[in-house]
Amino acid sequence: MDDRRLCENKEIFVKNLRAVNERAEVEPDIVDLVEAYARLRLDQDNELRFYDNKIRIDNKELEQFLDKNRHVDHRVLNFLASYFLEMKKRGLKCILNSSHLTHILGISRKKVNWLANGRADHYVCFHAKKRDGGKREILAPRPCLKKVQRQILDELLHRVRLNYRAEGFRKKRSVVTNAKRHIGKEVVIKMDVRDFFPSIIFERVLGMFVSLGYPRRTSLLLTRLVTHNGRLPIGAPTSPAISNIICRRMDKRFSKLGQKMEFEYSRYADDITISSNNKKITGMIPFFKEIMGEEGFVVNEAKMRILRSGRRQKITGIVVNKKPNIAREEIKKLRAVIYNCGHKDIKQEMIRWARNEKKLADPYGYTLSEFKLSLLGRIGFVKMVNPGIGKKLLQQFHAFSLNA
């Protein structure tokens, strides 16, 4: 039986299981938990065991959980313990219902519902320029919602195990670790996902929380807290982690295919890189696009690149032909900017930087502090990739007094 048919059969089983419990007038929160528990067990092809009286209690957190709920019927309590252990096994936090979620967040149900009501004034909207000259809409959550989203990120999302080929938005991962996977390859294929965050719609986020094992109504509330206008907002602290979780299956498919067809795969946010010493790997590009399409993503054709070993191979700002490095022109440019700041008119250098590097419509409004931070950020990037050159640039920067 293929995976798709097996998945369909599991969904039918879960749907029927839910319907049976609803007809029996089981409490809605318990029905949600029954469905969540069934999904967790079926996901691992394990037998469903409801109301098991032989649960081993060798977990301190589980003991505390049971002690707080001794008033509940023992059969239901044993089922809740089973659900708790399944979530624990996956490293995830157990949440029994929406009230339990509000308790974890430390705010009232009324306030959570207010934050989840989709009001436009929960976000501050502004636009940032893209490299191609276009504009990107940024939706920054206001402090109250941002705090709740941060809690969801720390308490729930950061616990989810990701595919090892996902390089963005993770501790101890960076553009450097991403680039190192593709050093010295004959062919490097760069593919960019079009409208990455906005293409992750409400239903996909809801499906993600449900698949992680959270009760349906709790998943619905969580989804309302982390989406806006039915999509994943660029600017919310939860969006990067959610995108990584949603991409787990795609990452797994590419990783397994890479092992079979001998190519390297990595994904840094919306930047997908595939490299190989087999020059014929380019013939698989239509298949790569098909996989992305099946996973709900579309390739940005305008940004797709095929880089061969005879020319510079640059991914996520790093040259990977022989070793991770920064392009010579970039280093030369930074040296010139630093020198000009110390020996020439720093105001003119600021204006040039604002116009050419920041692409500002009004470069004359650019401040010294903004310029210094931007320049230091660029030097920091060089230092991360090439510590020796980066350290020298930093010394040169501090050697000059950058006072206007």
If you write DSSP's letter for every residue of 328-356 in order, what string do you get?
Answer: HHHHHHHHHHHHHHHHS-HHHHHHHHHHH
On the question of pLDDT at 287 being above 90, the answer is yes
CA distance 229 to 118: 7
pLDDT for residue 404: 46
pLDDT for residue 7: 61
pLDDT for residue 108: 94
| Cβ-based burial of 57 (10 A; exposed 0-12, middle 13-18, buried ≥19) | exposed
CA distance 212 to 160: 8
CB 383 within 8 A of CB 334: no
Dump pLDDT digits (tens) for 74-124.
Answer: 666 777 788 888 898 899 999 989 999 999 999 999 999 999 998 889 999
On the question of pLDDT at 8 being above 80, the answer is no
pLDDT for residue 72: 61
Dump pLDDT digits (tens) for 127-145.
Answer: 887 766 678 899 999 999 9
Which residues neighbour 315 within 8 Å (Cβ) at sequence distance 6 or greater? 178, 179, 182, 188, 190, 271, 273, 307
Is the CATH number 3.30.70.270 carried by domain 163-194+241-325?
yes
How far is the CA of 101 from the CAs of 33, 125, 275, 352, in angstroms?
14, 28, 43, 51
pLDDT for residue 120: 87
What distance lies between CA 70 and its chain's CA centroid? 39
Among the ranges given (70-74, 212-216, 313-317, 330-334), the one the predictor scored with the smallest mean pLDDT? 70-74
Dump pLDDT digits (tens) for 156-193.
Answer: 999 999 999 999 999 999 999 999 999 999 999 999 99
pLDDT for residue 77: 73
Of residues 304 and 67, the one with the higher pLDDT is 304
Dump pLDDT digits (tens) for 363-385.
Answer: 999 999 999 999 999 999 999 99
CA distance 202 to 270: 19
CA distance 95 to 88: 11
pLDDT for residue 240: 97
Among the ranges given (66-80, 301-315, 359-373), the one the predictor scored with the smallest mean pLDDT? 66-80
Dump pLDDT digits (tens) for 241-285.
Answer: 999 999 999 999 999 999 999 999 999 999 999 999 999 999 999
Dump pLDDT digits (tens) for 33-60.
Answer: 888 888 888 887 777 766 555 556 566 7
Most confident residue range from 17-26, 56-65, 219-228: 219-228
Name the band, by pLDDT with cuts 50, 70 and 90, for residue 361: confident
pLDDT for residue 82: 83
What ranges do the domains of the chain cover?
10-93, 94-159+198-233, 163-194+241-325, 328-402
How far is the CA of 217 from the CAs of 95, 224, 228, 292, in angstroms?
11, 11, 18, 29
pLDDT for residue 1: 43
Of residues 205 and 63, the one with the higher pLDDT is 205
